[in-house]
Chains A and B, each alone.
Chain A
Amino acid sequence: MKSAMIFRLLMLAGGLALALLPSFAQAAPPVERVFRIEASSFAYKPGQIQLNLGDRVTLELVSMDVVHGLYLDGYDLSLTADPGQTARLTFVADRAGSFRFRCNVTCGAMHPFMIGKLTVGPNHSFTLAAGLTISAIAIFLLIHPRRASQ
C-alpha cells in the first residue's frame, strides 16, 4: 500500500516536472535561418522544422509539381508558389510552441492532409499536455486509491 502511494506521488511529481520544467529551460540565442521547403503532392520536404524562439526565419517554398501554398497556423501567415518558382516569406518566430503548416491552394485529392509541422523552442505544447495528463491520472489514483488497488 505504501509503495503504491509512493508510486502515485512520484508519478505526480514526474508529471508536474514534465509540464513545468521546459518553461525554465535555457533558450538558445535567436539566429537568422533560411529553410528551403520543397512542396510536392502531397507533402512538404522537410515536413518538420525546428526553430528557436526569436529566430528570424525565411521560408523558401519551392513547388515541385503543381501550385502549392503554405499557411502557418498560429502565425496566420501564408505564401503560394507556382510550379518551378520559389516563394519567400520572412518572419520572426516570436511564439513558442508547435504549429502545423498546411497547403492553402487546392492541389489534388490529398490536399486537405498536406501538412507539415513547425516547432518553435522545445515542443512545449506536447510536454505540457503530457505532463498534465500524467499529473491528472496520478491525482485521480491518489483520490481513488482503494478502487485502484482492488
Chain B
Amino acid sequence: MTRHELTRFPLIKALLKNRWPQLAVYAALLAGFIFAIFAGFVGSPVGNHNFSIVFVWIAWWAMLILAAVPFFGRGWCAVCPIPLPGEWLQRGAILELAPTGKGVSLGRRWPNPLRNIWMQNISFTLVALFSSVILTMPLITAVVLSAMFFLAIGSSMVFERRAFCRYLCPVGGFIGLYSQIAPLELRVKTTRACASCKEKPCYHGSEAGYGCPWQVFPGGLQKNSYCGLCMECLRTCPVDNIAVNLRPFSSDLATPTKRLDEAFKAFIMVGAALIYAGVLLGPWGALKDAAYRIGSGVWFAYVGVFLSVLFVLMPSLYALAVKAGMLLAKTSSAVRPAFAAMSAALVPLGLMFWVAFSLGFVFTNATYILAALSDPLGWGWNLFGTANIPWQPLFTGLLAPLQTLVLIAGMLWSAETAQKVASAAGVRPLPVIIYCLLATLVMLGLLL
C-alpha cells in the first residue's frame, strides 16, 4: 500500500521532534481543561450558558469526532492535557529530561490481568449510562473531568508510564479503535534496524528522550490503536528509523483483531450511537425521562436495556451472522476468532454512526459556542460582543442528506472491510454485511 513519509520534510520533522511546540499546545489545552472544570463548579448551572458544557460536549466533541479521529487517529491523545500533571510528577520534569529517579512514582507494572481494554470498555459504558446528566449539567461535567484528571495523576503516581491513557481513559478506548481508520500512522521505517538495536531507547528512553509513555515498542507496531503519537520515539531513535506516514484510510483493518475486548469495544460504540440517536435526538419523551432520572426505577430499566443491547443483543446477533457466514463457507473452526476478526467491519460503521449522530446535535447547538465564548461562566459578561447571539440551528435543511450520505458511506466502508477480512477469518461476508445494513437502516430510522 502506498505510504508517504511526512517526516522526510525537515520542517515537519523538526516541529515534531522539538518539545516546545507540543508544550505550547499542551499548556493552552491544560488551561482550557482546568477552566472547564472551574466553569463547571462555579459557573451557571444552565448547560448551554456554561463553558464546560458548550466547549467540552459541543466544540471539543465536534472537533474530535468530525475531524481529529477520522483524519489524525490518536492526534488528540498527542495533545490531551489530562495525563500531563501526572506525567510531569512521574518524570520530575516538565520540558527538560530528568535523570532517572527524580520523579515521584512507585513505577509499578500495570497488572497483567488488566492489560487489555476491558476497563476502558467499562469506563466508557459508565459514562454513557450517565450521559444525560454529564452532557447537560455543568457540575456533573466538572466532577467527571476532575475524576479523570485525578485518576490520571493517581495512576501515574502508582504505575509506570501512562497507565491511565492506555488502560482506563473512557475516551482513549474508542479513539484507539477508530484510529485504525485514520490516514496517518507512526511506524518504523525498517524492522531490521529495530532488531539490531540493542539498547531500544525508543522503549527504555535515553538522554534524547523518554521511553514510550504508551508502553509500546515501535518496532512491533502494526496498528494505531495503542500509539499515542507523543513523538518520544522520534526523538530517541538513534538511527532515525521512525516515520510518520500518510497512508490510505483504514489500513489497519486489513489485520483484524483476535481480541474480544477490542471486538466488544466496536459493539459498545455502535450500540451506544444507536441508543443515543433514539434517546437524545428522538421524539420519545419517556426515553429521555428514563435516561435522566438517575437512580429511579425507569432509569434502572434503561440501564438494563442499554447493557443488554450493547453486551448481549448486538454481539449475539453478530455471532449468529458470523456463524451463518462460516456455514456458507463450510468452515468448521471455532466461532470466537472469526467473531473477533469480523468485528473489524463495525469499525467504519461505528465511526460513521457517531459522525451522523454528532452532526445532529452539533449543527443545532453550534451557536451556543459564540455566546459562551463571550460569557463562559453564564454571569452576564460580554467579552467579545457575542454573548447575546440568539440560538439558531444551522444547516437544518442539509442535515438529513448529510447524515444519509455519511451512513451510506459507512455502510459501504463496512461492507468492503467485511469482504477484506472474511477470507482470513474463514467466513463468507454476506451475513455480516446484511447485519451492518440492518443496523444502518435502524440508525436512519432513528435520525430521519
Contact surface of A with B, Cβ cutoff 8 Å: 42-45, 47-48, 71, 73-74, 97-100, 102, 104, 106, 109-117, 123, 125-126, 128-130, 132-134, 136-137, 140-141, 144, 147-150
A55 to B49, CA, bound (A): 38
Q: Is B444's CB under 8 angstroms from A126's CB? A: yes
B155 at the interface (CB under 8 A from A): no
CB neighbours (8 Å) of B376 from chain A are none
B48 within 8 A of A: yes
CB of B404, distance to nearest CB on chain A (Å): 4
CB-defined contacts of B282 to chain A, threshold 8 Å: 115, 117
User: Does chain A have a CB within 8 A of B361?
Assistant: yes
Closest to B433 in A: A137
Residue pair B292, A133 in contact (C-beta under 8 Å)? no
Tell me which residues across on chain A come within 8 A of B400, comparing CB atoms.
97-98, 125, 129
Q: A133-B441, A150-B329, A150-B423 are in contact. Are A98 and B448 (CB under 8 A)?
A: yes
Question: Does B116 sit at the interface, judged by CB under 8 A?
Answer: no
Q: Is B365 part of the binding interface, using a Cβ–Cβ cutoff of 8 Å?
A: yes
A128-B132 Cα distance, complex, nearest whole Å: 31
Residue of B nearest to A113 (CB): B280
Q: How far is the CA of A130 from the CA of B445 in the complex (A)?
A: 8
Question: How close is B416's CB to chain A, nearest CB, in angstroms?
Answer: 8
Main secondary structure of the interface of A (DSSP, over half): mixed
Closest to B46 in A: A106
Given A102-B364, A147-B419, A150-B329: A112 in contact with B444 (beta carbons within 8 A):
no
Q: Kindly state whether residue B393 has any CB partner on chain A within 8 Å.
A: yes
Enumerate the 6 nearest inter-chain pairs by beta-carbon distance, A residue then B residue, closest first: A43-B285, A47-B283, A73-B396, A117-B283, A129-B404, A109-B136
Contact status B285-A42, CB under 8 Å: yes
CB-contacts of B14-62 with A (<8 A)? 46-49
Chain A hits for B415, CB < 8 A: 137, 140-141
The reply to whether A109 and B133 form a contact with Cβ atoms under 8 Å apart is: yes
Q: Which of B93-101, B237-245, B261-269, B406-414 contacts A (4 or more CB under 8 A)?
A: B406-414
